[in-house]
Structure 1
Amino acid sequence: MHDTPDYGLWTLVILNSAIFIMFAFSFFKPQTARDWRTFGAFAAFIVALFVEMYGFPLTIYLMSGWLQTKFPSLDLLSHNTGHLWSTLLGEKGDPHFGVLHIASYVFLGFGFYLLSSAWNVLYHAQQRNGLAVSGPYAHIRHPQYVAFVLILLGFLFQWPTLLTLLMFPILLVMYARLAITEEAQMRKQFGAEFEDYATRTPRFLPSLRKRLSAT
Structure 2
Amino acid sequence: MSTDAPAYGLWSLVIVNSIIFVLFAYSFFKPQTGRDWRSFGAFSAFLVALFTEMYGFPLTIYFLSGWFQSRYPEIDWFSHDAGHLLEMMFGWRMNPHFGPFHVLSFILVGGGFWMIAAAWRVLFEAQRQRKLAKTGPYSYVRHPQYVGFVLVMLGFLVQWPTLLTLAMFPVLVFMYVRLARTEEKEAIASFGDTYRSYMAAVPGFIPRWGRFFGSGPASDETNRRP
What TM-score, normalized by structure 1, do the two folds share? 0.95
Equivalent residue for 2:51? 50
Secondary structure at the aligned position of 1:213 is classed as coil
Does the aligned pair in 1 maintain the 2:42–2:172 contact within 8 Å?
A: yes
* Superposition deviation, residue 3 in structure 1: 8.9
Does the aligned pair in 2 maintain the 1:131–1:190 contact within 8 Å?
A: no
* Superposition deviation, residue 108 in structure 1: 1.0
* Superposition deviation, residue 130 in structure 1: 2.2
Equivalent residue for 2:37? 36
Q: Measure the CA separation in 2 of the matches of 1:82 and 1:2.
A: 11
Q: Give matches, 1:105-120, under 5 Å.
A: 105-120=106-121
Equivalent residue for 2:27? 26
Q: Give matches, 1:112-191, under 5 Å.
A: 112-191=113-192
Rate the CA distance shift 1:175–1:3 in 2: closer, same or farther, 3 A.
Answer: closer
Deviations 1:50-89 (A, max 9, x none): 0000000000000011111112232122001100111111
CA-atom RMSD in angstroms: 1.6
Secondary structure at the aligned position of 2:155 is classed as helix
Q: Measure the CA separation in 1 of the matches of 2:83 and 2:212.
A: 40
Q: Measure the CA separation in 2 of the matches of 1:109 and 1:141.
A: 20
Equivalent residue for 2:102? 101
Does the aligned pair in 2 maintain the 1:9–1:54 contact within 8 Å?
A: yes
User: Which 5+ residue runs of structure 1 have no aligned equivalent?
Assistant: none
* Superposition deviation, residue 4 in structure 1: 4.4
Q: Measure the CA separation in 2 of the matches of 1:129 and 1:3.
A: 55
Equivalent residue for 2:77? 76
Rate the CA distance shift 1:130–1:154 in 2: closer, same or farther, 3 A.
Answer: same
* Superposition deviation, residue 213 in structure 1: 3.3
Rate the CA distance shift 1:213–1:133 in 2: closer, same or farther, 3 A.
Answer: closer
In structure 1, what residue type is equivalent to 2:28? F
User: Which 5+ residue runs of structure 2 have no aligned equivalent?
Assistant: 217-226
Does the aligned pair in 1 maintain the 2:4–2:81 contact within 8 Å?
A: no
Deviations 1:128-154 (A, max 9, x none): 222111111111100000000110111
Equivalent residue for 2:219? none
In structure 2, what residue type is equivalent to 1:118? A
Name whichever of 118-127 and 39-48 sits farther off: 118-127
| Runs of 4+ in structure 1 over 6 Å off | none
Q: Measure the CA separation in 1 of the matches of 2:163 and 2:200.
A: 39
Identity of aligned residues (%): 54
Rate the CA distance shift 1:173–1:21 in 2: closer, same or farther, 3 A.
Answer: same
